Amino acid sequence: MQYRPLADEIRPQTLEDVVGQSHILGKNGVLRRIIESGQVPNMVFFGPSGTGKTTVANIIANQTHRTLHRLNATTASIADIREVIADVDTLLAPNGVLLYLDEIQYFNKKQQQSLLEFMENGKITVIASTTENPYFTIFNAVLSRSTVFEFKPVTPQEVRPAVDRAFRLLEERNGVTIQASDDVRDYLATACGGDVRKAINGAELLCAAGQQVDGVVTVTLEDAELVGQKSAFRYDRDGDNHYDILSALQKSIRGSDPDAGLHYLARLLEAGDLVSACRRLMVIASEDVGLAYPQAVSIVKSCIDAANMLGLPEARIPLAEAVILMATAPKSNSAIMGIDAALSDIRKGNYGDIPAYLMDSHYTGAKKLGRGLTYQYPHSFPNHYVPQQYLPDRLKDAAYYQYGENKTEQAAKAYWARIKGKG
C-alpha cells in the first residue's frame, strides 16, 4: 500500500472544517460568501505555507463542480496551462476548469503576462497562490484581474483541535492507543508557527518514533521539542517577512517600547541575520533618535562594532544595549525631515545658483570671475557668527530644519536666537 501523508489524508473537505482564516471564511467572511454564490472570480491566495490555501482551492472546485488542475510554477510552463485549457468544453470538464497555480512568484513577467489571455476569456478560473507579498512579486496586470485574499498564520488555539484529530486518526490507522499529554499537544500547536500541516506532520512523526508497549504508544514532551525545534520561526531573508520584521523593529524603538524592540531584534538574531540588524539600528539612531540625543549614533556604532567583533551568540548583548538605549532615549526626526524637505526642492528643479561669494576661490583667476569677493569669515566675528545669505536667491527664505521639541534642540534654538538677536 502506497504511503499517504496524514496531513493529506485529513485535509478538510468543507469550509466548516478549515482551521483558522475566520476573517475571510467565517460566517460572514467575504471569501465564504463568494464561494457560496458559485460565481468565483480569478483570485490570488497570499500567506505562509500550511495555512489552508490549497485546501480552500480544493473545496471551491468541489462546491462549484469544476474540474481542478494543480500546477506548481517552479516546474510548470505555459504549455502545461494550454493542456489544461484543452479540457474546457469537453466531457472532462463539463462545468469548467479551475486552475490552481501554486508559487506564482516563480513565473517570470512573460509567463505571468501569458496568463492574461486565459484569465480574460473566462474559459478557466485561475487561483494563484504565493507565500510572498503579491504586490511585490506579481505583475500589476495579473493583480488587476484578480481578487487578493490574505491567509494568516493559524493561532495555537485554532491548531490544537487539528492536533487532537491527528492523534485520533493515527490511533485508528495503526490500531494503537496514543498517550500524549496536553503539554505535548499544546507544544505541537505552538511550535508549528501557524502551519497546520507542520503540526500534523509532527504528530505523525512522534507516533512513528514513540515507544510502543502492549499497544500503547507514549509520546513525550522531550521528543516533541526535538521534532519541533525552531519550527515556529518564519524568516526569509529575501522575502517581505524580512522587511516586516525590520519595520517592526524600527517602529517599536521609535515608539519607545524597549520590550518590543528586543523581541524583533531577537527574531533577526535567531535567524542569524546580524548584518540587517546592525544596519537598521544605525538608521534608527540617525532617523528616530537623531538630534534629541546626538551621541546615540556613536554609541550605537560602538555597540555594532562590538557585535561584529564578537559574532553570535555574544553579539546579542551589545545589540540589546543599543536597542534599549534608543528605545528609552528622547526622539527627534528633525534631521530626516530637514534633508527630505531639501531633497524635495532639488527634485522639483528648485535650487537656483550658488551665491558667487560662496563659490571656491582657491585658484588663479577666481577673483576675475567674482568668486568669493564679498564672503565674510564667521570665525572673525563675535560668537563666530555674522549675518550672511547662504541659500540661492530663489530659496533664500526656505526653512528646511525645524528644531525638535526636546531639551538638546531647544537649547540650541535658544542659543542661536540669542546670538542672532531673535531672543
| DSSP for 185-216, written as a single string | HHHHHHHTTT-HHHHHHHHHHHHHHSEEETTE
* 325-334 confidence digits (pLDDT tens): 999 999 999 9
What's the confidence (pLDDT) of residue 423? 45
> 154-174 burial, b for 16+ CB within 10 Å, e for fewer?
bebebbbebbbbbbebbeeee
DSSP codes, 248-280: HHHHHHHTT-HHHHHHHHHHHHHTT-HHHHHHH
Structural domains in the chain, CATH included, are 21-150 (3.40.50.300), 156-227 (1.10.8.60), 240-328 (1.20.272.10), 334-419 (1.10.3710.10)
Which one has a higher pLDDT value, 422 or 312? 312
Of residues 192, 172, 183, 177, the one with CA closest to residue 19: 192
Q: Report the alpha-carbon distance of residue 316 to residue 322 in Å, rounded.
A: 10
Share of the chain above pLDDT 90, in %: 44
- CA dist 150 and 57 (Å) reads 14
Decide if pLDDT at 352 tops 80: yes
Instruction: Pick the closest to residue 241 from 143, 133, 134 (CA basis).
Output: 133
Question: According to the model, what pLDDT value does residue 2 have?
Answer: 59
Model confidence over 10-57: pLDDT tens digits? 888 888 888 889 899 988 899 999 998 888 889 999 988 888 899 999
* Residue 360 grid cell: 571656491
Region for 290 from its dihedrals, namely left if φ exceeds 0, alpha if ψ lies in -120 to 50, beta otherwise? left
pLDDT band at residue 95 using 50, 70 and 90 as cut-offs: low
Q: Which residue has the higher pLDDT, 336 or 110?
A: 336
CA distance 412 to 290: 14
- Other CB atoms within 10 A of residue 274 CB: 19
End-to-end alpha-carbon separation of the chain, Å? Answer: 90
pLDDT grade, residue 81 (50/70/90)?
confident
Nearest-5° angle of CA 160, CA 165, CA 167? 100
Query: Which distant-in-sequence residues (6+ apart) come within 8 Å of 289 by Cβ?
Result: 296, 297, 326, 329, 330, 331, 332
**pLDDT exceeds 80 at position 340:** yes
Mean pLDDT of the region 393-400: 92
Q: What is the pLDDT of residue 113?
A: 81
CB of 306 closer than 8 Å to CB of 264: no
Its sign, for the CA torsion 187, 188, 189, 193, is positive
Task: For residue 401, give the nearest of 291, 241, 245, 300 by alpha carbon.
Answer: 291
Question: Measured between alpha carbons, how far is 396 from 88 in angstroms, rounded to an integer?
Answer: 70
Going across the sheet that includes 97-102, the strands are 67-72, 97-102, 124-130, 43-46, 147-150
Three-state DSSP state, 143 = helix
What SS3 class is residue 356? helix
**pLDDT of res. 236:** 58
Q: Which three cell numbers stand for residue 226?
A: 526535538
pLDDT digits (tens, 9 = 90+) for 245-283: 999 999 999 999 999 999 999 999 988 889 999 999 999
Lowest pLDDT segment from 86-95, 240-249, 271-280, 371-380? 86-95
Point out which residues pair with 97 in neighbouring strands.
Answer: 67, 124
Max avg pLDDT among 2-6, 80-84, 86-90, 100-104: 100-104
- Under DSSP, is residue 389 helix (H, G, I), strand (E, B) or coil? coil
List all residues 6 or more positions away from 144 whose beta carbon is below 8 Å from its beta carbon.
Answer: none
Alpha-carbon span 251 to 187, nearest angstrom: 30
Q: What is the pLDDT of residues 180-196, one digit of tens each?
A: 899 999 999 888 888 88
Mean pLDDT, range 122-150, rounded to an integer: 87
Q: What is the pTM of this model?
A: 0.67
- The pLDDT tens digits for 101-130 are 999 988 888 888 878 877 777 677 889 999
Among 196-205, 322-331, 358-367, the range with the most confident prediction by mean pLDDT is: 322-331
Which pLDDT does position 229 carry in this prediction? 59
- What's residue 90's pLDDT? 63
Residue 231 pLDDT exceeds 60: no
Instruction: Specify the higher pLDDT residue, 152 or 321.
Output: 321
**Closest CA relative to residue 291, chosen from 422, 385, 383, 411:** 411
- Arithmetic mean of pLDDT over the chain: 87
Give the integer Cα–Cα distance in Å for 37 and 117.
25
The mean per-residue pLDDT over the stretch 415-420 comes to 92
**Among the ranges given (8-12, 23-27, 387-391, 419-423), the one the predictor scored with the smallest mean pLDDT:** 419-423
pLDDT of amino acid 227: 74
